[in-house]
Each structure stands twice: as structure tokens, then as C-alpha cells.
């Protein structure tokens, strides 16, 4: 078994081992229905466990394990390939002559811009959904959200040179709100009930100014709103979130990560999410459960979860550059009625707000 972790800051990766098939059995620490593949796609923040079945006889060859980026945005990117070597232990009585003739095989990786491969690969993931490992997918929804995610801009600060459109500064946002990190910890502020001047709880459930998210025309004004806005969820509420990519400053695949919870990916597609027709095709039987998911370039994903973990939980793009530009937000999950459903107090040595 190989445990694969994408620890890159800004690169989604294709991974393959030459002349070998991999069986995927786990993603983000959740068992999956096993399936075979020659190539694994993995975003920053995701983990994937695979089974590698070695060859029954000494192959007199070595095999490259290689990874290279998947890129769906605009601009430049690192197109290098990283590699390791899978080497078989040679038989005890092999001769030096045979060793000098060892072949080196290289894997065939998808084109670096192969969005079709990524889409087909991700659709293979299914939860086990059996008695021992059930898929407890929320069936009835208490709270629904539609969040646009993508790039935008801010005015360039004085005495600085910025590389955004028309000399502006690149930014990123959720529902056009670029999240500003406060100077006081959100969890601390929430626990002591002292949010005034630190955050507000009016994060919009849907885009304030709807438009043709993945088509044309795109908005002429690409400026974002800079704020520290959060969403409040009652304890154990069932939540459905649709993450919609936009084409503002270029459509791009965004790996979104939710802290504190796993979620079930019940649907995905390209273009604009259709609230009337797309939910008909949601998989509510055995959707994959995970904590990081790639939102397709020029498309959408839908996930569901139970807000059963009290606290303040960050959700953000796992591209470091996009997170730093503001593609992030946070959820407040309120306490439940039982002692085990309440947020524990902070350490005694932590100063109050």
C-alpha cells in the first residue's frame, strides 16, 4: 500500500508508475469502493491510498514513479516532472552482466491541461456504503448555499506595482467576498461572545449579483468586497453547498478544503449549476466522503454534511496563492444541548479578548 499525499502549495498533480496498475482504496482517510487506474489525480491537501501489485517475476527493469502538474488556469505555471524509481530486488544469483542491461520504463501521464481526464477520474469515487462503513448522507436539507468561487481584483496599494488587470491587485473570493483575516482569533471571539469589530455573521447564502458564471458576458467590474463575514449553523443542521467556479479572470479548477468536517460529494458538472434539473441526478446512495474536493474549471460541485462539530471552521482553496488572495470563508457551528455537543473552553493560560 502506498499512501499518497499532495503536499504541494499550488500544484494539482498526476501520478503514475510505469507499467503498473494502481488500485485506489481510500481517499482523505475514508474507504472507497476499489477501482483500478494507471494514473492518480490528486489536489493539494488530498490524500489517496493505493494498492500496488508487483510483478510475479523479476522484470530485469526499473520503473519511474512520476508526477507532473495539472493546470487549468491562465498565465504561467511550473511544468516540470518529478520522479522516483521503483526497483525490484534482483535474484540472489543474477550476474553483473544482466544488471547492466536493466531497462528503465517511463509512465505516460495525461496532458497537463487534460480537464476531461480529471472529470472522468473523479467520477469513479464511491463510498463503501455498507453496514460496517455506512454513507450517512443528509437526505433532508435544513440550509442550502450557492457560493461562487474565483478570482477578482482590488485597487493597487499606493507606491506598489501590481500584476492584475489594468494595474490592479489580484484577489480571490467566495460570493465576491475576499475574506480578511482578523487580528483576534475567530474561535476565541466566538467563545467569549465578543464579535463586535472582529467579524459579522451576514455572509450571503447566494451571490448578491447573479450573472452568467461560466459564460459571457462576464462582469466588467472585477473588484471584490473585502470583509470578515461568517455563516452561522445550528448544531447538527444538514447543509448543502454548491460551489460554482466563475470565468472572471479565467476559469480554473479549485481544490476546496473544509476544516472540522467531512462532506459527501453528491454532484458535479460543467457550466452553471441548474437548481431545477441538476439535483435530480445527485447521488444520495454512495457518494464519496472526503474533506477536500476539486471544483471543476468552468463547472460546479455539490456537497452535503452535518454541522455536528461545534466551533469556527475555515473553508478555503488549497492553492496557497488563492487562499492568500482571499478565497476563504468560515462557518460557526453552534453548541448542541448535550455536554458532549458544546465547544470546550480555551486553555486556562489563553488571554481573554
Full DSSP string of 300-328: EEEEEEEE-S-EEEEEEESSHHHHHHT-E
Does residue 38 sit within a domain? yes
pLDDT in tens, 63-90: 999 999 999 988 777 888 999 999 999 8
What is the CATH number for 189? 2.60.40.420
- Please compute, for residue 221, the number of CA atoms within 13 A of its CA located in the half-sphere on the CB side: 6
pLDDT over 90 at 100, yes or no: no
pLDDT band at 163 (very low <50, low <70, confident <90, very high): confident
pLDDT of residue 93: 64
Q: How far apart are CA 137 and CA 140, in angstroms?
A: 9
- Across 208-236, b (16+ Cβ under 10 Å) vs e yields eeebebbeeeeeeebebbebbbbbebebb
**Average pLDDT over every residue of 198-208:** 97
User: What average pLDDT is seen over the chain?
Assistant: 94
Of 50-54, 77-81, 110-114, 336-340, the least confident? 77-81
325 and 184 co-located in one domain:
yes
Q: How much is the pLDDT for 219? A: 85
Residues 327 and 231 grouped into a single domain: yes
The reply to whether 10 falls in a domain is yes
328, pLDDT greater than 90:
yes
Do 71 and 179 reside in the same domain of the chain?
A: no
Do residues 239 and 142 lie in contact, with contact meaning Cβ atoms separated by under 8 Å? yes
Distance of CA 10 to the CA centre of its chain: 12
What is the mean predicted confidence (pLDDT) over 290-313?
97
Give the containing element (helix H, strand E) for 119: helix 115-122
Identify the domain containing residue 34 by its residue range.
2-91+100-123
**Contacts (Cβ under 8 Å, ≥6 apart) of 45:** 6, 255, 257, 291, 292, 318
Same domain, 323 and 204: yes
Say which residue, 126 or 250, is predicted with more confidence: 126
Per-residue pLDDT band for 101 (boundaries 50, 70, 90) equals low
Q: How far is CA 5 from the centre of its chain?
A: 13
pLDDT category at 204 given cuts 50, 70, 90 is: very high
232 domain-assigned:
yes
Give the 3-state secondary structure of residue 254: strand
Q: What are phi and psi of 336, to 5 degrees?
A: -90, -170
Say whether pLDDT at 332 is over 60. Answer: yes
Q: Are residues 118 and 182 in the same domain?
A: no
Assigned domain for 347 exists: no
Please state, in angstroms and rounded to a whole number, the distance separating the CA atoms of residues 333 and 318: 22
199 and 298 within one domain:
yes
Cα–Cα dist 171/152, whole Å = 5
pLDDT at residue 99 above 80?
A: no
Same domain, yes or no: 73 and 189: no
Percent of the chain with pLDDT over 90: 87
Q: Is residue 131 part of a domain?
A: no
Residues 84 and 198 in one domain: no
Please determine, for residue 190, whether its predicted confidence score (pLDDT) is greater than 70: yes
pLDDT band at 352 (very low <50, low <70, confident <90, very high): low
Q: Which of 20-24, 218-222, 320-324 has the lowest mean pLDDT?
A: 218-222
Q: Are residues 159 and 295 in the same domain?
A: yes
pLDDT higher than 60, residue 97: no
Name the residue among 112, 99, 63 with its Cα closest to residue 83. 63
Tell me, rounded to whole angstroms, the distance of Cα 47 from its chain centroid: 11
Strands 177-179 and 225-227, by their bridges, are parallel
Residue 277 has pLDDT above 70, yes or no: yes
Comparing CA positions, the residue from 49, 33, 36 lying closest to residue 128 is 33
Query: Looking at the domain assignment, is residue 136 inside a domain?
Result: no
Q: Is the pLDDT of residue 30 over 70?
A: yes
Output the furthest CA–CA distance in the chain (Å, rounded).
76
Query: How many structural domains is the chain composed of?
Result: 2
With respect to residue 263, please indicate whether it lies within any of the assigned structural domains. yes
Do 161 and 112 belong to one domain?
no
Give backbone dihedrals phi and psi of 200, rounded to 5 degrees, phi first. -120, 165
- Give the count of beta carbons closer than 10 Å to the beta carbon of residue 277: 8
Same domain? 185 vs 320: yes
pLDDT value of residue 98: 53
Say yes or no: 86 and 163 in one domain. no
pLDDT, tens digit, for every residue of 106-144? 999 999 999 999 999 999 999 999 999 999 999 999 999
Any idea what DSSP says for residue 118? H
Which residue in 118, 101, 15, 107 sits closest to 58, CA to CA? 101
Query: Phi and psi of 340, rounded to 5°?
Result: -75, -5
Element (H, E) at 2: strand 2-5
Query: Is 200 a domain residue?
Result: yes
pTM of the model: 0.93
Amino acid at each position: 500500500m502506498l499512501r499518497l499525499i499532495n503536499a504541494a502549495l499550488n500544484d494539482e498533480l498526476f501520478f503514475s508508475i510505469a507499467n503498473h496498475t494502481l488500485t485506489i482504496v481510500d481517499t482523505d482517510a475514508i474507504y472507497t469502493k476499489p477501482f483500478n487506474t494507471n494514473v492518480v489525480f490528486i489536489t493539494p491537501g488530498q490524500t489517496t491510498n493505493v494498492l500496488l501489485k508487483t510483478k510475479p517475476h523479476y522484470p530485469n527493469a526499473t520503473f519511474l514513479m512520476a508526477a507532473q502538474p495539472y493546470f487549468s488556469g491562465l498565465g504561467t505555471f511550473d511544468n516540470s516532472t518529478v520522479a522516483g524509481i521503483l526497483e525490484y530486488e534482483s535474484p540472489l544469483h543474477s550476474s553483473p552482466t544482466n544488471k547492466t542491461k536493466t531497462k528503465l520504463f517511463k509512465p505516460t501521464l495525461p496532458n497537463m491541461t487534460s480537464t476531461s481526464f480529471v472529470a472522468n477520474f473523479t467520477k469513479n469515487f464511491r463510498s463503501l456504503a455498507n453496514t460496517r462503513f455506512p454513507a450517512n448522507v443528509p437526505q433532508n436539507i435544513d440550509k442550502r448555499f450557492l457560493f461562487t468561487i474565483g478570482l477578482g481584483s482590488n485597487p493597487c496599494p499606493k507606491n506598489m506595482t501590481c500584476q492584475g488587470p489594468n494595474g490592479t491587485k489580484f484577489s480571490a473570493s467566495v460570493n465576491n467576498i475576499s475574506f480578511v483575516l482578523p487580528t483576534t482569533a475567530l474561535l476565541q471571539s466566538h467563545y467569549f461572545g465578543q464579535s463586535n469589530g472582529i467579524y459579522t455573521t451576514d455572509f450571503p447564502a447566494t451571490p448578491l449579483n447573479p450573472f452568467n458564471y461560466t459564460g459571457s458576458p462576464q462582469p466588467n467590474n472585477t473588484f471584490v468586497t473585502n470583509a470578515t463575514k461568517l455563516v452561522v449553523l445550528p448544531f447538527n443542521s444538514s447543509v448543502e453547498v454548491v460551489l460554482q467556479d466563475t470565468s472572471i479572470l479565467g476559469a480554473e479548477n479549485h481544490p476546496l478544503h473544509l476544516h472540522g468536517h467531512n462532506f459527501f460529494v453528491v454532484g458535479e458538472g460543467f457550466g452553471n449549476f441548474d437548481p431545477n434539473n441538476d439535483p435530480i441526478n445527485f447521488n444520495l446512495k454512495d457518494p464519496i466522503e472526503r474533506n477536500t474536493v476539486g471544483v471543476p474549471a468552468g463547472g460546479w460541485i455539490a456537497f452535503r454534511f452535518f454541522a455536528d462539530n461545534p466551533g469556527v471552521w475555515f473553508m478555503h482553496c488549497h492553492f496557497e496563492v488563492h487562499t492568500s488572495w482571499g478565497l476563504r470563508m468560515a462557518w460557526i457551528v453552534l453548541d448542541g444541548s448535550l455536554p458532549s455537543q458544546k465547544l470546550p473552553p480555551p486553555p486556562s493560560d489563553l488571554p481573554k479578548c
